Structure 1
Amino acid sequence: MTSSDAAAIVRAEIFAIATRPASWVISRVAVPLSIGVASLLLVLGEATFALAAGGTVTGIAKDALDRPLAGAAVRLETSDGEVMGRTTSDGQGRFTFTDVPAGTYAVFAEREGFETATAMGTVSDGEGWSVDLTLTSRQQLNPVLEPVVVTAKRMEGPRVLTTPRSIGAPVYEITDPAIQIQPGGENNSLTQVLLQAPGVTQDASSVGGIHVRNQMGNLQYRINGIALPEGTTLFGQSGGLSPRLAESVTLLTGALPAEYGLRTTGIFDIETKSGAIEPGGHIGGYGGTQSWLEPSVEYGGSLGRFRYFLTADYLQNSVGISPATPNGAIHDDTRQGHGFGYFEVVLDSMSKVDAVLGTFVGHFQIPDRPGATPGFSVDGVSSFDSTKVDETQLEQNYFAVFSYRKAEADWGLQVAAYARYGSLAFHSDRLADLLFNGIAQRVDRSSIATGLQADARYAVAPQHTLRAGMLLSAEQTSVQATSLVLPAADGLQTSDQAIRVFNSTGKIGYTGSVYLQDEWRAVPAVTLNIGLRFDAYDAFRSEWQLSPRVNMVWQPSAATSAHAGYARYFTPPRQEFVSSGTLAKFGGTTAAPEVTQNSAPRAERANYLDAGVTQQILPGLKVGLDGYYKQANYQLDEGQFGAPVFLTPFNYRRAYTLGIELTATYAAGNFSAYGNLAAGRQQATGVASAQALFSAEDFDYIQTHYIVTDHSQLITASAGLSYLWRNTRASVDMIAGSGLRRSVQHPNDSTNPPYQQINFGLTQGFVLPAIGKLQARFDVINVLGNNYVLRDGTGVGVFARQFGPPRGFFGGLKKVF
């Protein structure tokens, strides 16, 4: 095939495909929340499109190791294939098109010895469009070329929704610009940012608990494609990662190919900022109601072959976890800190080594609620003000990832080693916890994990690319629990003198995985991905599974694509949260379990089906539909079964999950919008492990009935709008849900009330003499002040009440350099 033939094919597909160097990427789009929402997007979008007067398209042409390429032929085309302009990249890889009318365009870059690179974007008045084009070499490059510092911005779209041809499963990307325009921006937690993705449901509001496709946990976080080991932290969700470090965050879900395993409900792959593409940084502060104070700093750059990016922030406020009362929290102060560093050394034209270092430390007060009545007496005391309970939790997480990457034209290799240390310490209020719960605990959990991951690809033929890889990891966990309990007989307290019970457990566990898969382009419009994966683990149990995977992508036209897939999944329980204490020690006390059976959690084994279709309705408007079904044996779940705020895993004997997702994105001129609507349900029966966590009544009912799991929400929605006028951007986003489950007569037999939350943001960029470039922002969180209930304290594995965040007003200012 000639280069002109290839260009013709790419031109026909570009407005449904975003091409990356080593793989085809087919745009996945989203279906509107409703016909009314879609109509509104069209009307507003067309009106905004008419106002846009045009701008400039600029960018950088570079190779696979981010080195600028001079002499690349670059052209700009409309969606109809009309060439709007041609140019050649300069000595630093830069290219520019001026006086481009507002609209959606494709940019192509070609150079002898390289594959054609393409990108799609929107030109708007005032901002224009900046893009990086990475060309994959067909041969070894000159190793003596030195990397050059370049300055460029990635495409500033609202978000990118794609279905990669090599994956055949839903993929949803949130870019750094999309994070910045969200109300709160980079000052939000990472999990609050992830609520922009379809099928993502919030749990605890401030702590950032989330569920993907009505699943509890089973989430995996990756840094630049490398799986990040899990930690013991709970409130520092996602290991305490901050959105400040992210160039983009990509959610992969559904029936995934063989290269993804173990934690597969949702894989959040974070591409970190490197300092080479956008050198510089900022120092700033953010704060407001709820005693919010959040200073931050970041800086990145390069020195010859060395590149780096550093960021750090400190946070303190009075809504650290989640309010247990409406209109704000009682005893919910927090102090947190994040630190992150990325360091890279280019070895030659085709290889590099890098290091990623991160840390999170968080001090949390456990929220109180008024009106609670003690159920026990201690040392002659039988009353206590429940707003004065003083429980606290300290969480720490530290990780390091070191990797080597090499990218040849026909093959590539990535090898990474990682280490992580995490700890969680819960400190009880001795008297209060005994009075209200009959047990007061001091719990210290720690975990040390190390691992090695290797992934490789090899193009054996133009139609076939083989991928193979392995993962080996070891984890040592320790749990020290000191409990004060009261003597009891048949559930009734017999003495008000507390007795001490000590439990200490430790475990070293091992996990191993290997996979092999073939990406086969059977015909030009169809790509198959067929693979096999083997996973095994040895901890509280020893289990293994061989898992086949099959995925297909079909693109009948440039504007339409469809995908379908089947995956067999194997998911071990999180070792650091497994409870293995000796139940006999609590016999004859107020902490004695009603169910004496206590089997160790098992690995979940599931069959997963996923299928979807995407459609580009018109330039800028993308819609899509995705459906899924999962059948599981030993469905893993987690819950809080006591005052110490950590999650304990257990299994349901059988479960099924099904749902549908409708999503939409629209961008025209200075206007952008997105909308997501998901419906789904998970039901399960039979408690198959950790039975002692349950009351006898709940246990007996679940053994003989299917119940809706506590984290299952029937309807979940999110949406957002953004408009830029000169240097001022206004944005609005919304989350809504039909309510998580609660218990009335039987476990999880009802729902909490539906909720909606609307947030508003305003950002302004300006320049002051002698100071330089500044950016100010103003945000209102929960504009309508809805005091909605997330949890009412009932339901399987639900211990505490949780409300949405109170209305808050926040402002920030940062100096950009």
Structure 2
Amino acid sequence: MFQFNHKYSKCYDKMPRVSYDAKGKLCPVLSRAVKSVPCAALALWCAEPATQSYAEETRTVIHVGHTRAPKNRQETSASHGSPTKTEQHKAAQGDRPQQQVAATSGKGEAVTVHAAFNSARARIAPNLGAVAYRMGQAQINTTPGGENASFNQVLLRMPGVVMDSFGEEHVRGEHGGLTYRINGVLLPEGLNGFGQELDTRIIESVTLMTGTLPAQFGFRTAGIVDVTAKSGKSLNNREISLYGGSYNTFNPSFQVGGTKGQWEYFISGAFNRNAIGIENPTPAFRATHDVTEQGKAFGYASYRFDDTSRLSLLTSVSNANFEIPNAAGLPKLYDIHGVGDVQSQYLNDRQNEQNYYVVLSYQKTGAKLNYQISPYFRYGAINYSPDPVRDMVFQGVAEKEINNFTTGGLQLDASYDAVKTHTIRFGVMGQYTSEGLWTRTDVLPVDAAGAQTSIHPVTINDNTGNWAVEAGAYLQDEWKVLKGVTLNYGVRYDRFESSFDHEGQASPRANLVWEINPTTTVHFGYSRYFAPPTAQYVGQATLLKFANSTNAPDNFNATPTRVERSNYFDIGLSHRFPQGLSITVDGFYKQAKNLGDLGQFGRAVILTPFSYRTGKVYGAEFGGNYHYKGLTVFGNFSFVNTAAKDVNSAQYQFPTDELNYIKNHAIKLDHEGEFTSSAGISYGWAGNKAYVDYLYGYGLRSGFANTGKQPSYHVINIGYEHIFRNVHPLKGLKLRGDVTNLFDERYQLRNGSGLGVFMSQYGQRRAGYLTTVLQF
């Protein structure tokens, strides 16, 4: 154990709680109570005194490079009134994560070792030249609703993220394609429903990595959403919260965490009931038939065997029920035996979503070799129940549908410090997915012209399924070529074997990062990507069952969706100005074969994959943030342009005239979101915090072959909170108020037209919410 060196005691109160030595190694610094302070860390801090106050140093800034030991970039707690805004970095070496070191006697050493584990894990899978935007708890707290906000609302405050219906978000012109990780471990892809299974309450920080990703990231490469679950000091907290307000929102929750000996644990749970589960199909304030009830629970536990190894367990459960909202006045299209006059506002379609996963991780750190091995398991299901009478009257089809996924896999990642200028990283992953689809569909007979020939529905049963194996291996080298210049290069090989496709590819990756000076960094990268579709395929045999019925497609062409193969280029710059201002500018270009997409092709909100023969996506992003004392300002702006040609899979989902048009014309992708922006300002003082938040979007497509465009929208949100400290018998009492869509703008996200778009959807009208949090 390191002993406190009084030679540096005069610098003690000025140093950060975590620092790095001259070689970039983590140097945890504890309070004098536990007397374990690395002399190297103290010497470094005293030799290079901070030019700003400690309070300013703890706020998030852009940091890059590897040639000098970075000062600690630690998020300030909300009580200090200094919220963190998006951290944007093009890192030559992996980001050193937020560290929170307890100063309490008896627990400090365990928490410090935990911080060292997190730093080692970050070195196993760092950004390595990819574009990374990070948000900590303080910025999440200035998102409308704070920890009660849905997870997609957090991501929407990052550059390049476009808002869509069903809680979807699109990153850099991609529909889906996101990889979710918790504590560095892959979460297997679930079904494409609209439930927000990740709970914002579990997050200590979240990083969105995009651009030219290093070789350790494969398959879903539109972006890596890397969540660090609460740990360390943040575990020593117990909360009970009640969030409620407009749309009959009732959202109680709890959080419990702690440390005991070698153990750490965190448990959270929440229940949410409201009357706006899905976007309203009309501009009215209150939707018809739109109640949702959602329950979520998350658990984390870790056991530290010694200072170099630990075992962690993550578990999550979510169950959500949704009513599918209705629009009044739909015309009656079909006559059904025994059914008289019915009205569309009384449709009673419902959907249930369930997701369960468990991840077990063993981590080992050494002087040169660090590795983490993680088996995981996931099960998800969507159960759609139609209104058997009204659905037949208004659309001629009533389909009961159950779609489920089961995935099991193993992931191994490792890093090895070969020599001073080279760090080798390598790993493997493999997973097996089984998909099942059961449908019971009531249809009506029709003639060759599509006219109804009987008033008696016919029931068609179908039970199909698919399987898929995804496996990959990678090897890469972080080479410090010169002072301030790092080349990260590598290769991965991926294989996709399924019931409908068999493909593989070797994919080179390279990123060059040049730290021009301590405040300016530029980067350029290239990545070859291999992105398989989800294990969903409906064959021609199923389609033929619906011939001469109201559910018959325009054509019976059911070509399987193939793996998307693409070349991706990214170039960007980041700069830190004096007095707390940081900016990033980034541009990207993607050229793809078998460009993947998703669409909703029925009232059941289950997204189905399809692809275009060729496509391209390009655009640019700008991000900036400014911090001064309790004031934080951030702003992001993004532009994206897309083009795709020739639908070459799942053609039965589209009318023949659209297919012919797209075969000969390059069209826009429906989720393009041409321009998008987010911004905010917050100020904290003496236990108070106030914020103003802004979202803008323009360009989601509509109409025949996506030739139309949705109008723009501007949404302003405001909020205020106050924390009362040491309110006996509580540690704290937090009161908060939020108003979303302050000026009650009526804006339409979707008008029900466009490729893979099924229904009209409007954004939420003005709403007010109150939060009470009891801290124990």
| TM-score bracket relative to the smaller structure | 0.7 to 0.9
Which structure 2 residues correspond to residues 368-379 of structure 1 after superposition, within 5 A? 368-379=326-337
Q: Does 1:243 align with 2:209?
A: no
CA-based RMSD of the aligned residues comes to 3.1
Q: Counterparts of 2:44 and 2:159 in 1: how far apart (Å)? A: 31
Query: Does 1:202 pair with 2:163?
Result: yes
Q: Is the 8 A contact 1:443 1:481 kept in 2?
A: yes
Q: Per-residue deviation at 1:522?
A: 0.4
Shift of 1:549: 0.4
1:363–1:393 Cα contact (<8 Å) kept: yes
Amino acid at match of 2:397: I
Deviations 1:665-722 (A, max 9, x none): 1111000011000011111010100000001111111111111010001100000111
2:71 paired residue among 118, 130, 133 = 118
Contact 2:28 2:37 in 1 (8 A): no
CA–CA separation in structure 2 for the residues paired with 1:772 and 1:347: 32
Corresponding residue to 1:791 among 750, 762, 771: 750
Residue in 2 aligned with 1:782?
741
CA distance in 1, matches of 2:430, 2:614: 29
1:430 CA displacement? 1.1
Q: Is the 8 A contact 1:323 1:803 kept in 2?
A: yes
How far is the alpha carbon of 1:801 from its aligned partner? 0.8
Deviations 1:101-146 (A, max 9, x none): 8644799xxxxxxx96731469999828899xx999xxxxxxxx99
Aligned partner (choices 216, 228, 252) of residue 259 of structure 1: 216
| Match in the other structure for 1:815 | 774
Quote the offset at 1:752 in angstroms. Answer: 1.0
Give the structure 2 partner of residue 596 of structure 1: 556
Counterpart secondary structure, 2:391: helix
Residue-by-residue CA offset, 1:496-544 (whole Å, 9 max, x unaligned): 1110111111223211100000110100111001111111111121111
- What is the 5 A alignment of 1:402-801? 402-490=360-448, 491-539=450-498, 540-576=500-536, 582-743=542-703, 746-767=704-725, 768-801=727-760
Q: Say whether 1:170 aligns with 2:131.
A: yes
Deviation per CA, 1:158-199: give whole Å up to 9, x if none: xxxxxx986111001111121112221010111111101100
Contact 1:116–1:135 (8 Å) recurs in 2? no
> Which residues in structure 2 correspond to 1:348-363 (within 5 Å)?
348-363=306-321
Q: Secondary structure at the match of 1:575?
A: coil
Return closer, same or farther for 1:60/1:295 CA change in 2, 3 Å cut-off: farther
2:185 partner amino acid: I
Aligned-partner Cα distance in 2 for 1:542–1:123: 49
Relative to the length of structure 2, the TM-score reads 0.87
CA 1:694–1:435 in structure 2 vs 1: closer, same or farther (change >3 Å)?
same
Give 1:71's match in structure 2, choosing from 18, 30, 37.
Answer: 37
Deviation digits for residues 408-433 of structure 1 (CA, Å, limit 9, x no counterpart):
12110100000001110000011111
CA distance in 2, matches of 1:22, 1:228: 36
Amino acid at match of 1:807: R
The residue identity in structure 1 corresponding to 2:133 is Y
Q: What secondary structure, in the 3-state scheme, does the structure 2 residue paired with 1:193 have?
A: helix
Structure 1 residue 79 displacement after superposition = 13
Q: Could you tell me whether the CA contact under 8 Å between 1:190 and 1:241 is conserved in 2?
A: yes
- 1:702 alignment partner AA: I
CA–CA distance in 2 between the matches of 1:116 and 1:171? 20
Q: Secondary structure, in 3 states, of the residue corresponding to 2:247?
A: coil
Please say if 1:388 is aligned against 2:338.
no
Q: What is the DSSP-based 3-state SS (H/G/I as helix, E as strand, rest coil) of the residue aligned with 1:708? A: coil
Question: Once structures 1 and 2 are overlaid, which stretch shifts more, 570-579 or 671-680?
Answer: 570-579
Counterpart residue type for residue 751 of structure 2 = D
Aligned length: 718
Deviation (angstroms), 1:328: 2.7
Q: d(CA) in 1 for partners of 2:340 and 2:531?
A: 45
Structure 1 match to 2:8: none
The separation in 1 between residues aligned to 2:113 and 2:473, in whole angstroms, is 38
Change (3 A) 1:124 1:336: closer
Distance verdict in 2 for CA 1:297–1:640, change over 3 Å: same
Structure 1 residues 276 and 347: CA distance shift in structure 2, 3 A: farther
Against the structure 1 CA distance between its residues 246 and 77, is the aligned structure 2 distance closer, same or farther, given a 3 Å change threshold? Answer: same
Contact 2:127 2:213 in 1 (8 A): no
Measure how far apart 1:778 and its partner are. Answer: 0.3
**Equivalent position of 1:281 in the other structure:** 238
Q: Deviations over 1:50-92 (max 9, x none)?
A: xxxxxxxxx96269xxx9871234659999954689xxxxxxx
The verdict on how the C-alpha distance between 1:691 and 1:302 changes in structure 2, with shifts beyond 3 A counting, is same
Deviations 1:758-790 (A, max 9, x none): 111111101434444100100001111011000
Task: Tell me if structure 1 keeps the 8 A contact 2:527–2:569.
Answer: yes
Decide whether aligned partners of structure 1 residues 392 and 211 sit closer, same or farther in structure 2, where only a CA change above 3 A counts.
same
In the alignment, which of 266, 270, 275 is matched to residue 313 of structure 1?
270
Report if aligned partners of 2:235, 2:266 keep a CA contact under 8 Å in 1.
no
Task: Give the whole-Å Cα distance in 1 for the aligned partners of 2:489 and 2:237.
Answer: 43
**How many angstroms does 1:381 deviate by?**
4.0
TM-score (ref. length: structure 1): 0.83
> Does the CA contact (< 8 Å) of 2:75 and 2:136 recur in 1?
no
In structure 2, C-alpha distance between the alignment counterparts of 1:102 and 1:23, rounded to whole Å: 25
Q: How many angstroms does 1:461 deviate by?
A: 0.7
Q: Structure 1 residues 178 and 707, CA, compared in 2 at 3 Å: closer, same or farther?
A: same
Deviating more after overlay: 304-313 vs 268-277:
268-277
CA distance in 2, matches of 1:254, 1:803: 31
Quick one: distance in 1 between partners of 2:46 and 2:633? 20
Query: 1:124 and 1:469 mapped to 2: Cα distance?
Result: 36
Displacement after TM superposition at 1:279 (Å)? 0.6
For structure 1, the 5+ residue unaligned runs are 1-17, 26-58, 86-99, 108-114, 137-144, 155-163
Contact 1:274 1:343 in 2 (8 A): no
Partner in structure 2 of residue 183 of structure 1: 144
* Rounded Cα–Cα distance in structure 2 between residues aligned with 1:530 and 1:62: 37
SS in structure 2 opposite 1:377? Answer: coil
Distance 1:633 1:83, change over 3 A: closer
Distance 1:430 1:126 in 2: 54
Distance 1:184 1:716, change over 3 A: same
Equivalent residue number for residue 216 of structure 1: 175
Q: Measured at CA, do residues 664 and 738 of structure 1 come closer, stay the same or move farther in structure 2, by a change above 3 Å?
A: same
Confirm or deny: 8 A CA contact 1:578 1:601 kept in the other structure.
Answer: no
CA distance change for structure 1 residues 314 and 83 in 2, over 3 Å: closer, same or farther? closer
Aligned counterpart in structure 2 of residue 804 of structure 1, from 760, 763, 767 = 763
CA distance in 1 between counterparts of 2:78 and 2:382 reads 50
The answer as to whether partners of 1:616 and 1:623 remain within 8 angstroms in 2 is: yes
Distance of aligned partners of 1:216 and 1:130 in 2 relative to their CA distance in 1, 3 Å threshold? closer
**CA shift at 1:320, angstroms?**
0.6
Secondary structure of 2:545's match? Answer: helix
The answer to whether 1:269 aligns with 2:226 is: yes
Percent identity, please. 36
Map of 1:53 onto structure 2: none
- Aligned match of 1:11: none
Distance 1:60 1:181, change over 3 A: farther
- Give matches, 1:10-49, under 5 Å: none
2:328 aligned counterpart, secondary structure: coil
Q: Secondary structure at the match of 2:389?
A: helix
- Matched-pair contact (CA < 8 Å) for 2:21–2:44: no
CA distance 1:151–1:727, shift in 2 (3 Å): farther
- From the superposition, tell whether residues 513 and 152 of structure 1 become closer, same or farther in structure 2 (CA, over 3 Å): closer
Task: Kindly state the Cα deviation for residue 813 of structure 1 after the two structures are TM-superposed.
Answer: 0.4
Aligned position for 1:300: 257
The answer to whether the 8 A contact 2:247-2:276 is kept is: yes
Secondary structure at 2:336 match in 1: coil
